[in-house]
Amino acid sequence: MIELNWTFFVQMINFLILMFILERILYRPILKVLDERDKKIETGQERAKDLLDKSEYMLKDYKERISDAKVEALEIKNSAMREAEEEANRVINDGRKKAEEILEQIRADAERQVEAARKELESEVGSIASSIVNQVLGREVAQ
């Protein structure tokens, strides 16, 4: 058992054969698979990182666009309100002006009528006065 003999060489050849066969059918395929998987995981991680960056960029862009749109909407709203206000003012002013005109016309009409009435009355003042005097005095009085 503790002596070296010819089986030493047999065992050496056996071991070398085992080594070469295992290298062919076990180590090489499995190391290849391991390397392939490492590479795949690495590229996958890189891709995931790229996509994440892209999505972050897109989110930022989207947010920017939303805030832009908000500003624009606010502007549109403001200008619409301003226009509406102007329109309202214009309508109110127009109405007021028209009302004043009508009032003026009515006032003028009234004045004219008063004037006409006064003239008419003034023309009748003499006769009315003499008729009153006649009534009071009971006689004709020369005018």
Which stretches of the chain bind another protein, using CB under 8 A?
1-12, 14-23, 25-27, 29-31, 33-34, 36-37, 40
DSSP state of 3: S
Residue whose CB is less far from another protein, 31 or 132: 31
User: Residue 46 CB, nearest distance to another protein (Å)?
Assistant: 17
Residue whose CB is less far from another protein, 41 or 48: 41
What type of residue is 50? D
User: Residue 5 CB, nearest distance to another protein (Å)?
Assistant: 6
User: Residue 51 CB, nearest distance to another protein (Å)?
Assistant: 21
Residues 63-77 as b/e (b if ≥16 CB within 10 A, e otherwise) read eeeeeeeeeeeeeee
Residues 6+ apart with CB under 8 A from 141: 130, 133, 134
Residue whose CB is less far from another protein, 33 or 102: 33
User: Residue 35 CB, nearest distance to another protein (Å)?
Assistant: 10
SS3 breakdown of the chain: % helix, strand, coil, rounded to 5? 90, 0, 10
End-to-end CA separation in angstroms for the chain: 184
Residue whose CB is less far from another protein, 14 or 78: 14
